Amino acid sequence: MRPVALLALVALVGCATAPQGQPEILALGDSVMAWNRVTGGDIPSVIGRQLGQPVLSKAVSGAEMMGGANAIQSQYVPGNWDWVVIDGGANDLRNTCGCNQCDAVLDQLISANGQSGAIPDLARKAATGPTRVLLMGYYGTSIAGGSFAACADELDILADRMTRLATSEDDILFVSSKPAIDTTDLGDYFLDHVHPSRRGSEKIGTLLAQAMAASAP
């Protein structure tokens, strides 16, 4: 991105800066969670502004839930968090099985009953003491397709299983980001038709923040 274009994007942010102070919310995940960070428009930053709480985001583009140098599990930072917000699994499915005949990978991510696998392990690790965990489900594929279009069925299965996990655990909340993103409106997507645009991140972050606020004790 050219410097002039970057400055123009930063100007769009205006005075909407994240709350200052000791982070109270931790965000983990892949590029969906990290996208638009350079302009302060990533999902975690939106959540922080909506809730008035400082956020630490450790999300990394390309991160996988299982194994590797960019494993999402390794992003976790122990702390007295109010919330830990997590997404992930799409890169595992595309990179490991190509989103075709992925039953084994899905089971490694999270079992059919939602009780075992890399995702439940991380969620339970994070949900300690007063900390609550929000698992974010992926939004739908745009009408223009994109490099993850073939993964749509697998991501729906992932969401169903995470719902089962959240239903069985008081400190884990599942929120699908599908209601936030209009798959027929490319303005909700970045130019690659995969990642969220700044508007898309704003809509997702707002949805998640509202769910977090509504579930507060």
Domain regions of the chain by residue span: 17-214
Count CA within 13 A, CB hemisphere, residue 28: 25
Structure tokens at 105: 């990978």
Confidence at residue 23, expressed as pLDDT on a 0 to 100 scale: 80
What does the pLDDT average to over 85-90? 98
The answer to whether 189 and 183 are in contact (CB under 8 A) is: no
pTM for this prediction: 0.89
Name the pLDDT band for 70 (thresholds 50, 70, 90): confident
- The per-residue pLDDT for 18 is 54
pLDDT value of position 195: 97
The pLDDT value given to residue 8 = 33
- In total, the chain counts a number of residues equal to 217
The tokens describing 26, both together, are: 């931790």
Backbone angles phi, psi at 204, to 5 degrees: -70, -50
Q: Which of 48-52, 67-71, 196-200 has the lowest mean pLDDT?
A: 67-71
Question: Residue 1's pLDDT is what?
Answer: 32
pLDDT per residue as tens digits for the range 96-153: 999 999 999 999 999 999 999 999 999 999 999 999 999 999 999 999 998 999 999 9
Instruction: Classify each residue of 3-28 as buried b or exposed e, where b means 16 or more C-beta atoms within 10 Å of its C-beta.
Output: eeeeeebeeeeeeeebeeeebbbbbb
Tell me, what's the pLDDT at 17?
A: 52
The CATH label, of 3.40.50.1820, 3.40.50.2000, 3.40.50.1110, 2.40.128.50, for the domain at 17-214 is 3.40.50.1110
Give the model confidence (pLDDT) of 200-215 as tens digits: 999 999 999 999 999 9
Q: Please state the rounded mean pLDDT for residues 148-163.
A: 96
CB atoms under 10 Å from CB of 111, counted, come to: 16
State pLDDT tens for residues 1-60: 333 333 333 333 333 455 767 789 999 999 999 999 999 999 999 999 999 999 999 999
CA 186 to chain centre: 20
